[in-house]
Amino acid sequence: MNGVPNISLQSQQSGWKDFIELTKPRITLFCILMTLGGLAMAPQSVGFITLTATLLGTALSVGAANTLNMYWERATDKLMTRTASRPLAAERLNPKWALGFGILQIVLSMLILTVAVNPLTAVLSLFAFASYVFIYTPLKRVTPHALLIGAVPGAMPPLLGWTAATAEVSAPGVVLFSILLIWQIPHFIAISFNHMHDYKNAGIKTWPGERGAKPATYQALLYSVALIPVSLLLLYFEVAGLVYGATAVAVGAWMLVANLKGLNPMKHPAWAKQLFFASLVYLPVLTVGLAIDVILQ
């Protein structure tokens, strides 16, 4: 009518859902929870404004990284079953809108974190964003070692929570960062095993695909072993107690046992799925144990 396209309410709602999907809301929510964990562990408490600004700024930074990751990978996402339905891969959104949306998010994130939190937290968040979008994303098609680089920005949320409260990078914050960094390696190696053909079709280099199943399994095992003592360092620095310690040993051992099954894949063909499930449970349960200790202190 009068040359104006007839856009239904359903299509408008679908468009907004697609913008939300660009941010990978489940991953963003997970990062918010990890940031909150860093805030809760810090010796200094923060006010409502700082708390809100930290979580909002982190959410926008993570959302921006995920949005621009989808923007750069929209062509290869079409080649993988697990990503073909994403908004840009399925051509439900104009890529220019996604690019603008990602830029808007990171600009707002930097403003919020710099003004309402502290410059250190803003710098660390910007580093995580830039390394994920401009280093990790293109390197995935060059080397399987991109996983190690991608683990760095992925481990940043709890450190952001810590620095938001303390305005400094200190040992307990680094331990939180290290736990999340180490956890990601067996977690994503398990994903690589479970979606190996998808990744090969898209030209993404993974340790199982490039180095073989057994070396990749040993690599995951190495990090699963390291996860237990590193997680217990929070007891050494006296920011967590026995409830957390027992929880860390229990869920760490669960991941380790699932990983050990991969050494005999003929006997345990579903070991990678079991490791992936154990890794999904690991962080929420660890966070609950930590929260209980914080409450009891």
Average pLDDT, integer, range 30-43: 90
pLDDT tens by residue, 47-57: 999 999 999 99
Cα 70-146-192 angle, rounded to 5 deg: 75
Amino acid sitting at position 169: V
pTM of the model: 0.90
pLDDT of residue 14: 55
The overall average pLDDT reported for the chain is 91
Give the integer Cα–Cα distance in Å for 180 and 64.
20
pLDDT tens by residue, 108-135: 999 999 999 999 999 999 999 999 999 9
pLDDT of residue 6: 42
pLDDT tens by residue, 164-189: 999 999 999 999 999 999 999 999 99
pLDDT of residue 61: 98
pLDDT tens by residue, 248-266: 999 999 999 999 999 998 8
Residue 258: count of CB within 10 angstroms of its CB: 24
pLDDT of residue 64: 98
Sign of the C-alpha dihedral computed for residues 228, 234, 238 and 244 taken in this order: negative
Lowest model confidence (mean pLDDT) among 1-10, 97-106, 228-237: 1-10
Whether 291 and 263 have beta carbons less than 8 Å apart is answered as no
Domains plus CATH for the chain? Answer: 12-142 (1.10.357.140), 170-297 (1.20.120)
Token couple for 184: 């990601």
Q: Which residue has the higher pLDDT, 275 or 293?
A: 275
pLDDT of residue 5: 42
